[in-house]
């Protein structure tokens, strides 16, 4: 136990979560990976256990616990070897619900946050567009006032939970002439007329539903605006530190899973009269992987501590995602190699892990975009300060 960051209570939570995942989730993973549909009952079970409310106010059914409970939650989700299942869960809890909690008024929180914590409703966050990618300011989706409604037109893509969720948190331009200063955030019910979704076929994350969503003259009440009009870009930016750190933590956790698996494999696999964990070249490969993963983990924990303390960590969280996802891809590639031909077989876990991990340097801001953000902060001394 790392006593600098985790208490005995944290570790008891980790153990109970591990037991829950082993009993309630793992037996269904293969089915969900094949069908691409995560059955609704498991969302209710997560809700009943309080897992969706870890970071949220007690007033809406949450537990309002420190960030290291979230770190544990993320790490253990990675270690059941379904990046798609993990993504569906954390996209609901830390993307959609974060906006509901931070920008939603009491009515919206009562309707969407409380039911999200209980597992009755599933949310998704809709920012990325077919022509926009990481360029949030370049979005084309619009929300035009018409009487007591907003009329929304446009499309979003690569949206996790984009097909089977119950509500959508969507960014749209209320003042297109203002560029990124004209973006607003809304909540839309899945059943709203004019909302349609197409499921995308992905390389990895097979258990999760990733959708392209179209909005065709979707009418929503004015009260579905979240926060202030035209302040959406700031809201999106202020949550990026958490999102990037989440993806960094996910990366170090899946690297650890791969490392633990391959070390155990090497202790059993024999070649030339001895187990392959005795060959120096392979031992040194493991030493390199373990060193890099440990560096990522310790850095990520330190960033989490600072974020939990309310510090400005956009640069560090961006570095976390950039390096942790890169190192995870390299670590899992090397671990798969150490399994030889078995690493290429679907019945062995590293084949899926290899595919799932590849999303890390792409989703939530590509590594190329993150490098430019870091360069601006390091070289140009830019600060991405936002509304509080």
β-pair partners for 249 = none
d(CA 92, CA 98): 9
338, containing H or E segment: helix 314-338
d(CA 205, CA 33): 8
Residue 120 is among the residues annotated as catalytic for this protein: no
Q: Are the beta carbons of 84 and 33 closer than 8 angstroms? A: yes
Residue 300 phi, psi (nearest 5): -65, -40
- Residue with tokens 């004019």, as numbered in its chain: 194
Strands 270-271 vs 274-275: parallel, antiparallel or unpaired: antiparallel
The tokens for 158 are 């690569």
Closest of 138, 115, 112 to residue 125, by C-alpha: 112
Instruction: Give the single-character DSSP code of 176.
Output: G
d(CA 140, CA 128): 10
Instruction: Report DSSP letters for 223-247, one per residue.
Output: GGEESSTT-HHHHHHHHHHHHHHHH
d(CA 12, CA 208): 29
∠ CA(272), CA(278), CA(280), 5° rounding? Answer: 105
Closest of 67, 33, 23 to residue 313, by C-alpha: 67
The tokens for 280 are 């120096």
Active-site annotation holder among 33, 129, 212, 243: 243
The tokens for 67 are 């960030």
The tokens for 282 are 């392979």
d(CA 54, CA 65): 6
Closest of 369, 127, 370, 105 to residue 233, by C-alpha: 127
Burial class (CB in 10 A: 0-12, 13-18, 19+), 46: buried
* Residue positions annotated with a catalytic role: 243
């Amino acid at each position: 136990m790392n006593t600098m960051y985790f208490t005995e209570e944290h570790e008891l939570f980790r153990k109970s979560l591990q037991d829950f995942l082993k009993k309630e989730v793992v037996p269904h993973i293969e089915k969900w990976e094949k069908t691409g549909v995560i059955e609704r009952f498991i969302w209710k079970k997560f809700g009943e256990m309080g897992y969706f409310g870890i970071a949220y106010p007690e007033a809406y059914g949450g537990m309002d616990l420190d960030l290291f409970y979230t770190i544990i939650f993320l790490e253990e989700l990675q270690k059941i070897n379904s990046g798609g299942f993990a993504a569906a869960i954390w996209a609901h809890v830390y993307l959609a619900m974060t906006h509901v909690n931070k920008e939603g008024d009491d009515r919206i929180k009562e309707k969407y946050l409380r039911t999200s914590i209980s597992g009755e409703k599933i949310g998704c966050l809709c920012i990325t567009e077919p022509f926009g990618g990481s360029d949030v300011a370049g979005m084309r989706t619009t929300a035009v006032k018409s009487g007591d409604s907003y009329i929304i037109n446009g499309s979003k893509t690569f949206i996790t939970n984009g097909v089977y969720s119950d509500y959508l948190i969507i960014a749209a331009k209320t003042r297109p002439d203002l560029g990124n200063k004209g973006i607003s955030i809304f909540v839309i019910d899945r059943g709203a007329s004019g909302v349609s979704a197409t499921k995308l076929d992905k390389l990895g994350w097979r258990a999760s539903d990733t959708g392209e969503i179209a909005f065709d003259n979707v009418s929503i009440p004015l009260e579905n605006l979240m926060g202030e009009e035209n302040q959406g870009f700031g809201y999106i930016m202020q949550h990026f530190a958490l999102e990037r750190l989440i993806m960094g933590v996910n990366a170090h956790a899946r690297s650890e899973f791969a490392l633990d698996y391959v070390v155990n494999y090497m202790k059993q696999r024999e070649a030339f009269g001895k187990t392959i964990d005795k060959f120096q070249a392979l031992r040194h490969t493991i030493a390199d992987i373990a060193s890099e993963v440990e560096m990522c983990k310790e850095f990520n924990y330190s960033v989490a501590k600072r974020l939990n303390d309310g510090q400005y960590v956009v640069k560090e969280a961006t570095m976390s995602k950039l390096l942790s996802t890169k190192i995870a891809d390299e670590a899992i590639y090397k671990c798969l190699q150490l399994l030889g031909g078995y690493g290429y077989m679907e019945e062995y876990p590293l084949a899926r892990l290899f595919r799932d991990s590849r999303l890390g340097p792409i989703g939530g801001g590509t590594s190329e975009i993150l490098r430019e953000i870091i360069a601006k902060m390091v070289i140009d001394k830019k600060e991405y300060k936002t509304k509080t």
